[in-house]
Amino acid sequence: MNLLEATDKKIDLRKAADNPFFWWICFTIAFGIVAAMLQTDRSWDLRNYHFYNGFAAFYDRRALDIVPAQGQTMLFPSLDPIYFTIFTSLNDRPSLINILLSIPYSVSALAIFLVARPFARLGFAWPNLASTGAAVVGLTGASTLATLATTQSDVVPGLAILIALARWLHLEKANRNTVWTGVGMGGLAGISVGLKLTQAPLFVGMVLAIAARFATGKRSAFWEAFAFGLGGLVVFAALDGSWLWGNVKAYGNPIFPFMNNIFRSDLVEPAPWTDLRFMPKTTLMAVIYPAYWAFRPSAAVSELLMRDPRILLGCVSAVVVVIGFVSRCIRDRAAPPIGSIESLGFSLAIMFLVSYALWEKAWSIYRYLAIQESLSGVLVLAALPILFGTRGRQWLLSGLFALVAVWTVRTTVYPWWGRTERGPQAISVQLPRLEQNAMVLFLDSEPYAYLVPSMPNSARVIGVNNNLVHPGSPGRLERMIEAAVQDHRGPLWGVENPAVDPGVADVSLSSLRLARAGECAPLITNMEVGQPVRICKLRRE
């Protein structure tokens, strides 16, 4: 090979490395391999409502069943019909299910790569490699990697807002954002909020980040922020409007049972119905909350022990970026120009900090931080040049980022949610033969709704003692359940797990004046690893 050919080949490789499609292929292969190595989803969310709600959306079970998926029965199904279709169509190919569910991760990685690249090109050797590192850091966190190829992942519903961010920053760099691009990007981001309301803090954070560009001299910043918010609200209404109105007609509360202290449906008590276990207990704790799970395994914001420094790194880096932006304004007596790295970093930092603060105020449940977590590596890239400068320090900055990346990945403790043991099927269920027009009662708070698609279509399924309703609970829902059981004239069955919820099924049966009729049969399913779930024929007392 002569020198000219070698030079041409080098140029071709450089062009390939600058092509986003090349990186998407790399990310797709990498996440596909990792997903294929993992076991299939068996998370509480899949067993309780993702599988059932998808089934119910296709077969309209609202008028037949009564809260079989507990309080989550009334959630907007959004992606659940897609999940149900994937799991039922590819049930005999569990690895293929995992690979298919990993594709949103590769698209997210590409979006993060594109967000990171302008920052990586300022002061870092091998900017494409640094951008890849930011994507890897962001998507190997305790919230993201732990839920890879599961229905529990917030990366999937958050993908649209991540794409909107990448596109908006790209246009901002060229100073091409207008009111109309605000409408378009807002509509795209609104898809994420429509798919899952936990993405709302990110949406609000992006609105405020767009408005904050007024500080950089963007006179139309407020109008662009308004357009972004309006576009998002229109798309949200288009996606969720019918569901919200259906909840109003059926339950008297558009987001039943949540915020029932405001909407006051008479079905359940007028309470917020939110999980407050993970809220910070003091003001000081709220300020330094990310440090609680950054340096040691903690259950502060998760049902399972986890450790992850990414949110702490993101918050600290975002503060550094904001301080650097303000310092530049003071030093130059003028804001950095629109599209500069400083202004891009400022917008990203505002979005991150606002969305994190709203998350902490609303939920403090770590899984809902997936998109913020995925942006942590980008913020580190944005902060390092501010702290150490860029002139002649490419290798220093690259080395520091590599050290941060390695430390972050190595110290992460993952809350591995439930996964099945490897087998020929993703979901395997063997029930005893249920009669036509049977009624099946879920007698305790374990997640059983995934069983419903395996029952006869005429079977009516009721959750009688769970996170929404229980014997003696106030509200009309408990009386509806009692009346439905008393009026039923067909066979009765009960599902229970006496090892996990000892005595709870007995309380449920006693309140409904029922008793077990003879021996109970164990449920044979790969969804209950090591759990003695059983189904019992019931009789009236």
pLDDT tens digits, 262-304: 999 999 999 999 888 999 999 999 999 999 999 999 999 999 9
Residue 100: Cβ within 10 Å count = 16
Please return the burial class of 194, using the count of CB atoms within 10 Å of its CB with bins 0-12, 13-18 and 19+: buried
Angle between helices 127-138 and 94-120 (to 10 degrees): 130
pLDDT tens digits, 485-519: 999 999 999 999 999 999 999 999 999 999 999 88
Mean pLDDT of the residues in the chain:
94
Per-residue pLDDT, 14 = 65
Q: Which residue has the tokens 């079989």?
A: 68
Per-residue pLDDT, 536 = 96
pLDDT tens digits, 426-442: 999 999 999 999 999 99
pLDDT tens digits, 441-478: 999 999 999 999 999 999 999 999 999 999 999 999 99
pLDDT tens digits, 70-89: 999 999 999 999 999 999 99
Per-residue pLDDT, 123 = 87
What mean pLDDT is predicted for residues 27-46?
A: 97
pLDDT tens digits, 5-19: 555 555 565 666 778
Per-residue pLDDT, 156 = 98
Q: Which domains are assigned to the chain?
A: 3-37+93-411 (no CATH), 429-540 (3.40.190)
Give me the phi and psi of 241, to 5 degrees please. Answer: -55, -45
Per-residue pLDDT, 434 = 95
Is the pTM value of this prediction over 0.85?
yes
- Pairwise CA distance, residues 387 & 29, whole Å: 35
Residues in the chain, overall count: 541
Residue 269 vs residues 44, 263, 273, 469: alpha-carbon distances, Å: 25, 11, 9, 10
- Pairwise CA distance, residues 269 & 62, whole Å: 21
